[in-house]
Amino acid sequence: MISKVNKKRPFSGLYLMILYETILNPDLFKRYLFDKLSIKYFRMKTLILMRHAKSSWEDPYMDDFDRPLNKRGKNDAPEMGKRLRLLGMVPRQVISSPAARAAATSIKACENMEFDKNDIQWEKDLYHASTSTIWEVIRKNGKENVLMIVGHNPGLNSVADSLGLDIDNIPTAGVLVVALSIRDWSEAAPGKARFEFFDYPKNKGKEIRQL
């Protein structure tokens, strides 16, 4: 009778890397692991919709595209980025309208949620985009497991409506997060989403609306 010899498998470099990352950066590792498990086993992707922060109307003759953030907007944008980071909802990809108020919102939010502002993608089609255009941008450009879109109303409100969500209005600097039961962003479409949470600057100190 020939007995099987149990050869011990070497402690691979992968295990060492996992141990190293877990010790030095546990939060980053947990997010990475969650992303991988979500894609492989649960067919989920996360979509963050963020409306630009409050803009200035100080110059009534300024072109709408060029309007900057006002004082409140400059405070709200980084605050919402910080809240997303504390909730562990850090995007892997950010696509933003290039309009001045949306661009400033994206940059200030990213600076406060561990996302390199140099990696922001600027998409001109998001400027005052319709519902169908926003979905098209998501389907064509979405690459990472957690995607954030920074844009304008009424388009973002319409996207929320297309998902059947009971949200009257996404206020300036407001964030809406949904989970999509898809493997690839090309499958993104109205109706294929699960509500995660909704937050906005004036909600400070209150419970975040979530399921």
**What would the pLDDT profile of 23-78 be if each residue is shown by its tens digit?**
666 655 555 555 545 544 446 899 999 999 999 998 989 999 999 999 999 999 99
d(CA 198, CA 150): 15
Residue 204 has φ and ψ, to the nearest 5°, of -55, 130
Indicate if 185 and 82 belong to the same structural domain.
yes
Q: Are strands 45-51 and 146-151 parallel, antiparallel or unpaired?
A: parallel
Cβ burial of 197 (10 Å; 0-12, 13-18, 19+) is middle
Same domain, 118 and 196: yes
* 21 lies in the same domain as 50: no
Radius of gyration of the chain (CA): 20
Query: Do residues 16 and 108 both lie within one domain?
Result: no
Grade residue 97 by pLDDT with cuts at 50, 70 and 90. Answer: very high
Dihedral, CA atoms, 175, 178, 183, 187, nearest 10 degrees? -90
Looking at the structure, tell me whether residues 49 and 118 fall in a common domain: yes
Nearest to 131 by CA among 168, 110, 156, 106: 156
Q: Are residues 54 and 87 in the same domain?
A: yes
DSSP annotation string for 193-206: -EEEEEE-GGGTTS
Same domain? 139 vs 38: no
**CATH number of 172's domain:** 3.40.50.1240
Picking from 136, 139, 151, 137, the residue whose alpha carbon sits closest to that of residue 106 is 151
pLDDT tens by residue, 104-124: 999 999 999 989 999 999 999
Within a domain: 2? no
- The model carries a pTM of 0.79
Domain range for 36: 12-42
